[in-house]
Chain A
């Protein structure tokens, strides 16, 4: 479980204080799939880095399984619990061969070599990349590289995985590969925190945080959030096309049920 209490983060810049997180309070339970959306500069990535103590609060607290992340003696346990996957796979991959890259984190934990081998094999299998274990990462597509980065986190066996815009640099096929993997990890019981600019991806979560100006201004189901087309526009975010088209048709006098989110629902309503 992750709990934030009045979480604040202020960056000091030459131009003055920049309040990136302005007093957040929330609880994320084990096994939840939470998406975080918001425009650039709303605080999403700053928040992401607080989940495993890459950044520490400048005010308030964040607890991972009850452990205060700002207490240095909790650092390793926090990082054993929460893994991160970032936007750019090229800046995460460190080794010259795929399997070495996946093993990297484990080697740093001082785990026995045969145990490492076993966990690396399992992790590569989980992302369907076993055939590529002796490849150079530079020979892989963006989606494949991102799956290697995910395998690295799977090998670490963290219960929580934070994804910070993992598909931003990928083509449609790569995006689908990554999202499929994320949903599978969630089905296996992992807690997923998923930051994205793609609303169709966020719509797959169970719960969505909407961030604006360093605050969480909405915390609700994807359906309630994405069918509020006017609010999405105000925030500078996209609504799914089906919700947007439904809103337009209602204005033109179509009698449609409320909260249409998907193409299937709109098709049924128009029949």
Chain B
């Protein structure tokens, strides 16, 4: 379990450029949860996930992961983080070597590394035949998968995904989310999904925390959130297109999928 308790953070403290990024943030992420963190650019999302991953030192408050303080180096083995556009960080000559890079640094045996590479490739839906390809010859969607597989090969118990589908076409996005969330959920990994895509949040997150100007303005289910237009507006977010459409049709119930929307309309016929 991740416990974030009363965390505040200020950049360039004590200078004229001082800027508060986070104010009194508290929330938990339970085992196996898909917790979305939503908010627009500058809301504090990036600062928050870097603190949770132990990449930025705490200034006040506390973060514990499985009861270990976040400053403990051991948490590096528990938490994996996939940054935006992770494929920009690919550099090895083959897919296999790229995915194996971080596990190698953990000092695992060759057999263990090889098994982890295979499993990570399966989890992100990469064909095993691509192992010896250069990552740079793959499509954008495939490169993204290689980069994510490199983190999954570390077998994190907690996985932070920062806008994992940004820039992908609709099909690549759909496939990636489906395979990724299917595979990860089965393995019991807790996911923190950072996104401003309400459609993705609607479909994959069981809970969502909304940040605005460094504060948590909502913590609940996506369905509850989409009914609260004033909170979305305050956070600079928009309800998913399906919610907006139903509202335009004069239906005030919330649908998370087209299936639900279809049923709602038919039931009112």
Contact = CB atoms under 8 A, between A and B. Distances in A.
A253 to B, nearest CB: 9
Given A172-B238, A249-B262, A249-B265, A242 B172 contact: no
Interface string B129-146: 000011001011100000
Nearest to A11: B137
Interface of B: 40-42, 84-85, 133-134, 137, 139-141, 166-172, 196, 236-238, 241-242, 244-245, 248-250, 258, 261-262, 265-266
Interface in A194-246: 197, 199-200, 235-238, 240-242, 244-245
A238 B134 CA distance: 30
A197 B265 contact: no
Interface string A150-178: 00000000000000010011111110000
A244 to B, nearest CB: 6
A264 B247 CA distance: 11
Given A143-B41, A172-B238, A245-B258, A238 B170 contact: yes
Given A173-B236, A245-B258, A270 B249 contact: yes
A15 to B, nearest CB: 6
B225 to A, nearest CB: 14
Contacts of A249: 262, 265-266
Interface of A: 13-15, 38-41, 87, 141-143, 165, 168-174, 197, 199-200, 235-238, 240-242, 244-245, 248-249, 252, 263-264, 266-267, 270
Contact of A266 (B238, B249, B258, B262): B249
B140 A241 contact: no
Contacts of A40: 139-141, 168-169, 172
Contact of B242 (A200, A241, A270): A241
Contact of B245 (A165, A236, A242): A242
B167 A266 contact: no
Nearest to A169: B166
Contacts of B249: 263, 266-267, 270
A252 B262 contact: yes
B170 A197 contact: yes
A236 B249 CA distance: 27
A241 B171 CA distance: 15
A172 B250 contact: no
Chain A CB count within 10 A is highest, among B238, B241, B258, B261, for: B241
11 contacts: A14-B137, A169-B84, A169-B166, A174-B40, A236-B169, A245-B265, A248-B258, A249-B262, A263-B245, A267-B248, A267-B250
